[in-house]
Structure 1
């Protein structure tokens, strides 16, 4: 079986197209007639050329949304811990006040 040879420019344009489409690699593989493994390799090689802040792709939006959800969960956990510590502090202050009163 003969292997197809693709130019570097073709590979770059294909990666750009993949990033813009935001489809899964199997979908892109079927659409383009190129194996998913080859597309993954190209993407790993050329992705940085197209992943600038000015290029917003559906994939990048999903990544940012996931990061936002993770940060939100971290924030909620820290907020819960903060509330627990505030309650503990209030209890300790009350206990200190009770035990520090002079006994008559």
Structure 2
């Protein structure tokens, strides 16, 4: 459905549940006010913080390399 690129019909057959059940689950859990929203937002926040840290570290390393590669007088 989301990650499997399979249709609701295919998934319902594989899982042995009705298409309506899958639709209801999708509607319940993947909406903005669903129970996973807070967990997803926490993960996004954590990953954004990690990205900022890694980006800053990379910039520091680039500057360090530039300093060490300068020709000596």
Do the two structures share a fold, i.e. TM-score over 0.5? yes
Instruction: Give the total of aligned pairs.
Output: 52
Q: Which of the pair is proportionally richer in helix?
A: 1
**Rg larger in 1 or in 2?**
1
Give distance in 1, aligned partners of 2:64 and 2:36: 42
RMSD (CA atoms):
2.8
Q: 1:100 to 1:80 in 2, by over 3 A?
A: same
Taking structure 2 as the reference length, the TM-score comes to 0.57
Flag structure 1 segments of 5+ consecutive residues without an equivalent. Answer: 1-47
Alignment partner of 1:90 out of 44, 56, 59: 59
* Structure 2 runs not aligned, ≥5 long: 1-16
Larger RCO, structure (CA 8 Å, separation 6 or more) = 1
SS for the counterpart of 2:35 is helix
